[in-house]
Chains A and B, each alone.
Chain A
């Protein structure tokens, strides 16, 4: 059996267990999505959207549905540690998911936030069926996306966040997805729905961590629905295990003057694919996409973003930065569409890559499709090495070569990290970057 067949078989085997509380619409969607996946299979590099990213490492695996949703002893200790690291002593809500399923006993809800509801999608299906029915799977259209189809067919749980009209969520909402299970390899399909009603605001931080070193697949779909004048600040911190596959599909639906600020950090995983699609469907909508990817060894990271300017006076700002070491590989594809009605669109896109090794490879491709005539669109891509002049300047002041390289690399990353206003999160990421720099392979060679 290959991955496609094993997944289809797993679906048959778990028929009685997943999607029990589904509405008729979702039930039909699941079936259609499964058919779609059975039809499409895994994407091939002949597919333009997957041209530089091969999933051939994944296709021979027989993926299994996780059977354990309770942490064992060591995982439990690790989860407690993560809790304090992630919350960093600040108030806020934290929803922990183990192998895709909500774990209430490890979640915390300190910090009163009236009008802000955070619960598992499985629970919301029952308690908030109207909202779930109104929004779930309305934005993540499949359009030939195998993995999103797979998620739609298989999803069981995930986070449901709802912020009522004109409510400002005071504290950040952490969604922590932890993978750790006896099944090898396991496939996890978290499904998140974040709905901000008109005039509201919230910060949501998604973190993905792997405790086990075995290979597994996280295949997440997140739909964010941002109402009029609402403002969502969203982070995704991807630190999956070294042998993990991480596939993510983030959809952003923006109403009039709705604002999304997204920041995607990708450090972990053996193969990571991050799709972000912003639909600026109403006038004055604004979408900010920031990203930082740091890869080493044989890691492969692929960021595909689409910003669809449908209406006039819409604004997008995109800044993705990459640091590549050893034999790693990165792909950036940034598509900006300006529809005929989207006059006065203002869009700026930048992708800069820093290569720390001669064996690292980047494919970067800005893609502009402009059908309106009165627009401002700028884009730029760069691939470079550390600045020799800066390196010499630091060394001439006494800073050893390896330390100087780390300092400059950190500075490159700091443009993305420094603008994070949550201290605990910024400090955590800064620490992650330092750790990455001290353990990255060509750094180590430089020292010796």
Chain B
């Protein structure tokens, strides 16, 4: 489904990803863990098509050999890539329903499928809202405006349920959530697991992986995958912390968070 080879990425002249290689097969769930500043969010944004990043080396092949890096963000979405944002954006004046129907129909148009009318869309949306226990009143509000942190994250998973991507990238969907909200979000994600859908779950905490059990766990540190293993690797990290990755991780962490 996804084949990342030797990916180097710069932001404002500074190299964040330094030769990242990762393969995700169809239907697999991969967790990417790592300290702050290791490049987790950069990877997520680069895969979704944000322009602000300079790709200096490497390739990303998606779903039967498509050159993902050559595609515009909207074309990636139409091809089935979905990013659940770490910080979903508030868009005053654009209603949730209108936004999501526009998105869905733009994708359907690109795929040569028929557009959904307002009524069909609403019944679909209602069914999907139940997955994340979202109150229908959210649909009539502006996109993420005035939503709590947990509501925003639920809205991301709800959008994912509606758009049914082939590759979902969840960027710290767990951060800022209490246990109850985390369970709701995780249940939503688990219900979307399927043999046709791959997922990359980016997280800082092992806690999420108690609820979303990954096929593989990777440790990203200093812009590279430094270790890969099964879910037991996450437990190991929980006990020892990222300190086992030594100086490289410490340097990356010192270089600043959020990149």
Interface SS, A side: helix
Among A362-390, those with CB < 8 Å from B are 387-390
The distance from the CB of A407 to the nearest CB of chain B, in whole angstroms, is 6
Answer whether A390 and B91 are a contact pair too, CB < 8 Å, given A400-B106, A403-B102, A407-B102.
Answer: yes
Q: Number of contacting residues on B, CB 8 A?
A: 32
* Among B74, B85, B88, B89, contact of A401 (Cβ-Cβ < 8 Å): B74
B48, B49, B78, B106, most chain A CB atoms within 10 A: B106
Among listed A77-85, A169-177, A408-416, interface-contacting one? A408-416
A389, A393, A401, A411, most chain B CB atoms within 10 A: A393
Among listed B92-100, B129-137, B200-208, B227-235, interface-contacting one? B92-100
A140 to B73, CA, bound (A): 55
* Among B77, B93, B110, contact of A411 (Cβ-Cβ < 8 Å): B93
Q: Are B74 and A393 in contact (CB under 8 A)?
A: no
A418 to B142, CA, bound (A): 13
Binding site for A on B (CB under 8 A): 48-52, 72-74, 76-78, 82-83, 85, 88-89, 91-94, 99-100, 102-104, 106-107, 110, 142-143, 159, 163
Residue A398 at the B interface, CB < 8 A?
yes
The distance from the CB of A122 to the nearest CB of chain B, in whole angstroms, is 43
Task: Give the tally of cross-chain contacts (CB within 8 A).
Answer: 76
Residue of A nearest to B89 (CB): A393
A410 to B99, CA, bound (A): 12
Q: Are A408 and B106 in contact (CB under 8 A)?
A: no
A418 to B98, CA, bound (A): 15
A-B pairs with lowest CB-CB distance, top 7: A411-B93, A398-B77, A397-B103, A395-B73, A398-B107, A393-B89, A414-B93
Interface size class of A (residues with CB under 8 A): 20 to 34
Residue A396 at the B interface, CB < 8 A?
yes
Residue A18 at the B interface, CB < 8 A?
no
Answer whether A408 and B94 are a contact pair too, CB < 8 Å, given A396-B48, A399-B103.
Answer: yes
The distance from the CB of A394 to the nearest CB of chain B, in whole angstroms, is 7
Residue of A nearest to B88 (CB): A393
A398 to B94, CA, bound (A): 15
Q: Are B91 and A408 in contact (CB under 8 A)?
A: yes
Q: Are A392 and B50 in contact (CB under 8 A)?
A: yes
A407 to B78, CA, bound (A): 18
Instruction: Name the B residues within 8 Å of A412 (CB-CB).
Output: 93
Question: Can you name 7 A-B residue pairings with CB atoms under 8 Å?
Answer: A390-B91, A398-B77, A398-B78, A400-B72, A401-B74, A408-B91, A411-B94
A347 to B84, CA, bound (A): 42
Answer whether A398 and B110 are a contact pair too, CB < 8 Å, given A389-B89, A403-B102.
Answer: yes
Q: Are A398 and B163 in contact (CB under 8 A)?
A: yes
Among A207-232, those with CB < 8 Å from B are none
A401 to B51, CA, bound (A): 12
Q: Are B89 and A399 in contact (CB under 8 A)?
A: no
Given A400-B72, A412-B93, 20 more contacts at CB 8 Å? Answer: A392-B50, A392-B73, A393-B89, A394-B99, A395-B49, A395-B72, A395-B77, A396-B48, A396-B49, A396-B76, A396-B77, A397-B99, A397-B103, A398-B74, A400-B74, A403-B102, A403-B106, A411-B142, A414-B93, A415-B92
Residue of B nearest to A400 (CB): B74
Q: Are A397 and B159 in contact (CB under 8 A)?
A: yes
Q: Are A397 and B77 in contact (CB under 8 A)?
A: yes
Instruction: Name the B residues within 8 Å of A415 (CB-CB).
Output: 92-93
Instruction: Name the B residues within 8 Å of A393 (CB-CB).
Output: 85, 88-89, 91, 143
